[in-house]
Amino acid sequence: MIQLKNYINGELIAPKTNSYLDNYNPATGKVYSQIPNSDDEDVELAYTAAKEAFKSWSSTPKEKRSYYLIKIADLIEQKLDKLALAESIDNGKPLKLAKTVDIPRAASNFRFYGTGILHYAASAHSMEDDAINYTLKQPVGVAGCISPWNLPLYLFSWKIAPALAAGCTVVAKPSEVTPMTAYLLSEICIEAGLPNGVLNIVHGLGNKVGNAIVSHSGIPLISFTGGTATGKHIAYIAAPMFKKLSLELGGKNPNIIFADCNYEKMLATTLHSSFANQGQICLCGSRIYVERSIYEKFKNDLVSKTKELLVGNPLDDKTKVGAVVSKQHKEKILSYIELAKQEGGIILCGGVEVKLEGEHENGYYISPTIIEGLDYNCRTNQEEIFGPVVTITPFDTDDEALMMANSTMYGLASMVWTENLTRAHKLAKEIHAGIVWINCWLLRDLRTPFGGVKASGVGREGGFEALDFFTEPKNVCIKY
Ligand code: NAD
């Protein structure tokens, strides 16, 4: 059985207490590796290494920092098959998805910031009375980066890459539910020759390792992606310490479908935006609002396409829906399906656990589920389920669709399907969300701001916004 190690000061080391946690393969329900059950002593070691490394890394020429990031991107690409397999086994996601989305996007995160830092400029403001201001953008210090389990390496690298590019050193914690590719990343960093202490990866539980990072007085900046409740807790600790905070939190994204849309394109994409990664993408559209004139047709078509999705072994190429990430998460999703029934929802398809055979008989599988007949403001339609579960609801007017779309406490992503340009622009302006996709979903341009409003988060990742986050602007005013 593989026993993972922490990556501290350039070395792979055991946790101080030598205590480990079991790591499950969600496709089989069996323990297949062990991860360090680290605590604040390990975080302190990582912090000390990162603090020391900051002295040189923060003044390393950007071309050199760029070199390391691009080297890491190259190595991720070279090891795509190994990393994708590890991601699929750790998370339960279809191997094909890990190969085509997760791992390539992790490599492009490093490549993007490896090149982006070369083009990151500061500004100058000249004044009429013989003075000039220029702005220095200096790396903040040791950054704390904490990530979730749904897109493990992809989201981990989305934080680490801009932090390192900006000249920060990092103490990072991947999710304890999916630690494997972060561990493989530490091996890659060693192979790339990344200087000791620049990146440190400490494995373990949120309330121990995560908490030690968030409350560490020497770490002035926290970049967190995860659930809204955890984000709230982190803000509660970090805000009085005046830390810089970036919080990417939960979502309950609306997918608004008008009768004038390109129907076939919409249907194919909606199937994907509903159930990709077992619905465990923070950007999935879980509330589908459909203009009444096409509601029945849409309902029949989506249900029949959903029934065709093969639930099965994530390593099998034919599988469209793999395992959900953990037993605990499976139970949470099933409890929401029960709640939906109590709230008057009608299950149109799915709604049950799927029992596979052989070595997968104890895996965590749920059939993709479509529910109708629920009020827009019931709990099922207001709370994040984060599984292969969507609701469908008819609407009559643009205003009604907008009102329902904006009715939750969340505001991460949204989708609008219409060929009417005026309507598309109007809704894009009025929807409460950080991201609006019109006639598409999950199209990604790394230069764009990424993040949510309301309970979906604070701050933006992506593009130069992330480099702004990991640097502190300092104005210098000179009178001549
Ligand atoms: P989570 O909040 O349970 O855990 C996220 C990370 O925080 C993990 O590494 C965990 O160990 C750590 N953590 C837990 N308690 C902590 C504490 N007290 N202090 C510090 N760290 C702590 O979330 P999850 O279940 O891993 O991920 C699913 C959630 O993430 C969903 O709500 C989803 O919407 C959200 N998410 C958001 C985005 C986004 O970009 N907005 C992207 C992906 C996932």
- Are 83 and 220 found together in one domain? yes
Q: Is residue 284 annotated as a catalytic residue, yes or no?
A: no
What's residue 129's pLDDT? 87
The pLDDT assigned to 299 comes to 98
Domain-embedded: residue 447:
no
- For residue 395, the model assigns a pLDDT of 98
- Per residue in 414-433, pLDDT (tens digit) is 999 999 999 999 999 999 99
Confidence at residue 480, expressed as pLDDT on a 0 to 100 scale: 92
Query: What is the rounded average pLDDT of the residues 462-473?
Result: 98
- Do both 123 and 259 map to the same domain? no
Residue-wise pLDDT tens digits, 26-83: 999 999 999 999 999 999 999 999 999 999 999 999 999 999 999 999 999 999 999 9
pLDDT tens, position by position, 221-232: 999 999 999 999
In whole angstroms, what is the distance from residue 239 CA to residue 236 CA?
A: 6
* CATH code of 388's domain: 3.40.309.10
Same domain? 239 vs 268: no
282 lines ligand 1 (CB under 6 A): yes
pLDDT mean across residues, the chain: 98
Q: pLDDT tens, 228-253?
A: 999 999 999 999 999 999 999 999 99
**Nearest CA to 197 among 40, 4, 57, 38?**
57
Measuring CA to CA, which residue among 245, 172, 157 is closest to residue 210?
172
Q: Where are the alpha helices (DSSP H) in 290-369?
A: 292-308, 327-342
Residue 480: how many other CB atoms lie within 10 Å: 5
The answer to whether residue 44 is catalytic is no
Residue 6 near residue 203, CB atoms below 8 Å: yes
Distance of CA 318 to the CA centre of its chain: 25
Q: Predicted confidence band at 1 (pLDDT cuts at 50, 70, 90)?
A: confident
Q: Do 410 and 317 reside in the same domain of the chain?
A: yes
Q: Which atom of ligand 1 is nearest to the CA of 250?
A: 34
Cα–ligand 1 centroid distance for 198 (angstroms): 24
Provide the number of structural domains found in the chain.
Answer: 2
Task: Give alpha helix (H) positions in 36-178.
Answer: 40-57, 62-78, 80-91, 95-97, 103-116, 152-166
439 C-alpha to ligand 1 centroid (Å): 29
Does ligand 1 lie within 6 Å of residue 387's CB atom? Answer: no
- Choosing from 282, 284, 291, 384, the catalytic residue is 282
If asked whether residues 219 and 348 sit together in one domain, one would say no
pTM for this prediction: 0.98
pLDDT by residue (tens digit) across 126-164?
A: 999 899 999 999 999 999 999 999 999 999 999 999 999
CATH at 7: 3.40.605.10
Average pLDDT over residues 447-455: 98
Q: 193-216, pLDDT tens digit by residue? A: 999 999 999 999 999 999 999 999
Mean pLDDT confidence for 435-464: 97
pLDDT more than 70, % of the chain:
100
Q: Which helix (H) or strand (E) holds 223?
A: strand 221-225
